[in-house]
Every structure is written in structure tokens, then in C-alpha cells.
Amino acid sequence: MPHLHATSDLHVTHTGNAPLIDEIRPGSPEDWLLVAGDVAERTDAVIATLTTLKERFAEVVWVPGNHELWTVPRDGNELRGEARYRHLVERCREIGVHTPEDEYLVWPHADRPLTIAPLFLLYDYSWRTPQAEDVSLEEALDQAREAGVVCTDEFYLHPEPFPSRQDWCAHRLKTTEQRLDAIPADHGTVLMSHWPLHRHPTDPLHWPEFALWCGTTRTEDWHLRYRAEVAVFGHLHIPRTTWADGVRFEEVSLGYPREWRKRKRGPVPLRRIL
């Protein structure tokens, strides 16, 4: 029986992570792999890694994380925002990797057809601490800075041609909802994204203010609305299985070496989902 696997936050440019790519291998040539973002900041490293994985798995589905969308000097790719994302999509298509812009695949090895929906949604700063619930975005960000939390996205993730990351997020939500609404009603789904769709996985964050950069309240019911068998995501670097409303949520990140070296089980670069 073929299996569906997932990984995220491989951060292959961090010393110690690149050798772990060799451990991401299927149990059979018919296995599929979901890659939920943050492969690397550099375009060449992203595509090289996905090319290797596509050589091993029958199908590979990728969604961008915030790191793929960063425009950093050492990359050599100066594209920003939507243009950068579209460039990554085209590069993925060249190597046969599926993206959020392609036709959704259907996993046939389950009790019902499961549409695999890769989602690129971003965030809109709507996940707030109680102290930031009724204040302006500027004040919420100030509170985060005072707590010592500033996501690097504020410097490297550019939203062009949209006025802000919130506007880009709103656009992505609108277009994605239209595609999800078109999934046949008798299909379940595997919802894969970089940022979690539901807020509960952010509960263990050491700095709760970081939730600002983790998702949007507009997706809080998507696991029910779109009949999810499982929701797969990364970003938090807190790999674990949780449940909400009877739906399984899988955080599948590898994370940075300084993180996985502290874990008793060590690095886990691949998780079986189905």
C-alpha cells in the first residue's frame, strides 16, 4: 500500500540539516511526499532539494514558507513578493513538483477520495495576545518588540504588488476559497500549508506574541468546512500531532539544528501521514 509522507522547515542551508535530506526516502516507489515550506531562503537550494526529493517519490507537492519568499542579498534572486512566488512555481513545474497553482491531486488509497490541497495563505496579524486584541496593528507590533519578538519577515518578506502582507493574505484567501469550494462534496481533503490553519498549535509558543506571524482567524473553521482528514503544516518548529474538532493536525517541521539536537528523539526529517 503506498503511503503519504510529509516534511517541512528543512532549512537545508543551516549546517547540520543538509545531510538529513538523505533520510527522506519512500518506503515504496509509489509513495507521495508533501513539503510544507521553508526548504531554504535561496532559490537554488530550494530547487536542488526538491529535485532530489522528486527523484525518490512518485509525487511531490510543495507550498512556500516565509523563508522561500524572503529576498536576501546572498540569494542572487532579487525578485520580490508575488513575482518571487511565481518564479518558484515555474521552477517547480520544470522539475515536476506540484504547487498551490496546479490542479489538485487526489489520494486514492483511502476509504474515500482525498483531495490534496496545497495552500499558500500567509498571515494577517489577527492572532493576538489578550493584551493586543483591541489595539492597532502598530501597537500590537510594538508590544511584540518590547517582548523581544520581531519576525524576520518584517525585513525580508516583501508583499509587492500588494500594499501589505495583510492585503496579499486577503487575496490568497479569496482565490484559495474559490478553489476549495469547487472540490467535489464526496471528497475529503488533506489540507497542507506552511502556516497553521487553526490557532491551537501556537499554544506552546515560548513567546505568544509570535502568533502574529503564524496565521489568520479566517481559516479557523477550514478543517471542518473543507472536510479535512488531516491538516499538515510547519512553521512553528514544534513537531507533534494535535486534534481539533476531531480532525488531526500534523506539525511536520524538522527545524534548526539547535532545536532538534535538544530533543530526545533527535531529528525527524520525515513523517508518515497516511
pLDDT digit string, tens, across residues 64-86: 999 999 999 888 889 999 999 99
- The pLDDT mean for the chain works out to 97
183, pLDDT greater than 90? yes
pLDDT digits (tens, 9 = 90+) for 105-126: 999 999 999 999 999 999 999 9
pLDDT given for residue 242 in this prediction: 98
CB-CB contact of 234 with 251 (8 Å): yes
| Cβ neighbour number for residue 31 with a 10 Å cutoff | 18
pLDDT digits (tens, 9 = 90+) for 236-259: 999 999 999 999 999 999 999 999
| Cβ neighbour number for residue 268 with a 10 Å cutoff | 16
pLDDT given for residue 107 in this prediction: 98
Determine the average pLDDT of the residues in 28-33.
97
CATH number at residue 101: 3.60.21
**pTM for the whole structure:** 0.97
pLDDT given for residue 73 in this prediction: 86
DSSP, collapsed to helix, strand or coil, labels residue 256 as coil
Gap between the Cα atoms of 219 and 39, Å rounded: 24
pLDDT digits (tens, 9 = 90+) for 36-51: 999 999 999 999 999 9
Cell of 224: 471542518
Q: Percent of the chain, pLDDT > 70? A: 100
Phi-psi region of 65 (alpha: psi -120 to 50; beta: other; left: phi over 0): beta
CB-CB contact of 189 with 179 (8 Å): no
When divided into structural domains, the chain yields a total of 1
Gap between the Cα atoms of 196 and 223, Å rounded: 11
CB-CB contact of 87 with 132 (8 Å): no
| Domain assignment of residue 218, given as a range | 4-272
pLDDT given for residue 74 in this prediction: 80
